[in-house]
Structure 1
């Protein structure tokens, strides 16, 4: 398990890690992702264990069926919210989850307005502005961008995320900050830099970053490093 992060005003975030679960290799051991090839029984047990470590009931969690879109839905009850890559709620008892294994988790909260949001911003989601759509949906539910705090979870860094030049160009078409050069001197994508720039243009200034690269951090799942592999979760909730 990872550490619980206090974002202030009764809002907390947590990023799970690889250890502490029951899944066998190559999903060892705290895999929280269904659809990875792991068994549903193991993932269910791991989700329950992770929730207990964080201090909330797993039955409070909202899970997305993530498909690398820019779609954002509003959750009014726990469980599966549907197919999307962003979810927003105004319910104080719900826990939002974003799954990843190289993509960027985006957790956002306007504690004054009582609005929470979570997104999964992979290369396609970053290119299409899922983080901005998340903020827009939060505003529609009563949030104010200047009052929003965002936590950006671990993701593959711009020095490691090598992509062909055409994919870099597609990703950076709307957000030039997405373009990076890898340590090998090749074209890359920096999702943290891109999403940070998108959020700032949307009026969000309070941005906290985990800073870890999933490919370089053995305690985290990395699709590029270990596929097939499991998924870690970034959780957001109010106490």
Structure 2
């Protein structure tokens, strides 16, 4: 049995956290590995076992709260695992021993912590949520629990990199019209297309919100099939399904 691979951020040292990939799980076939996506066609028992392994890799035996992610800018407070998962794309807590989990398959997972206040958060930042302000919503909700913006640190985990993320002109215009300064996150691609740097865009939103310490892991989910799930890679390969990895944070 292979061990669960846990990628950690230096900025979050001392905080229980990890950006997990596909290594260390029990799923098989095209979903082989640590698939935690209940929206996949995977065996529910395999998903449950993978989620247990993922949580145990961060705080053994700790409960895990997740949301029903909808590419929104909505953040909610969690005090325990939800009986019915809320439609939201960020979770915030100050409850010791509770783990927060965000699922991704190319979108950017963002983990936050104000260690002094004992407040942590996890956000799912795809292009739509990032543009809509999911990181801003997360920071604001953390502040309601006593976090201070100047004390919050954040890390952006494995996501699709610019070299792998081709977008069309309409996508580019959507960002440029919202803020002309975002053009710097797009490189020229083939005719009528651009290469979008989601990781850098999310990091810039965090910095603009007043987060002084922002770390990016620089891991491309698309380009590393042995380590990470990728929706776009599965689509390009015409696979019938795709897995989801999880990023987790909690208060020790």
What 5-or-longer segments of structure 2 have no aligned partner? 236-240
Structure 1: which 4+ aligned runs deviate by more than 4 Å?
6-9, 182-185
What does residue 116 of structure 2 align with? 112
If each structure's strand is expressed as a fraction of its own residues, which one has the higher value?
1
Seen in structure 2, the aligned counterparts of structure 1 residues 61 and 136 have a Cα distance that, compared at 3 Å, is same
Alignment match, 1:199: 206
- The TM-score normalised by the length of structure 2 is 0.87
Of residues 128, 137, 144, the one that matches 1:140 is 144
1:95-134 to structure 2, matched below 5 A, reads 95-134=99-138
Q: CA RMSD in A?
A: 1.9
CA distance, structure 1, for counterparts of residue 72 and residue 13 of structure 2: 31
After superposition, residues 145-224 of structure 1 pair within 5 angstroms as 145-175=149-179, 176-177=181-182, 179-181=185-187, 184=190, 186-218=193-225, 219-224=227-232
- Are residue 225 (structure 1) and residue 233 (structure 2) matched? yes
Conservation of the 8 A alpha-carbon contact between 1:171 and 1:189:
no
8 Å Cα contact 1:101-1:230 kept in structure 2: yes
**1:89 alignment partner in structure 2:** 93
Count of residue pairs the alignment pairs up: 238
Separation in 1, partners of 2:177, 2:250: 34
User: Against the structure 1 CA distance between its residues 55 and 89, is the aligned structure 2 distance closer, same or farther, given a 3 Å change threshold?
Assistant: closer
Shift of 1:182: 5.7
Unaligned runs of 5+ in 1: none
State the distance in 2 between where 1:7 and 1:95 align.
18
SS of the residue 2:163 aligns to:
coil
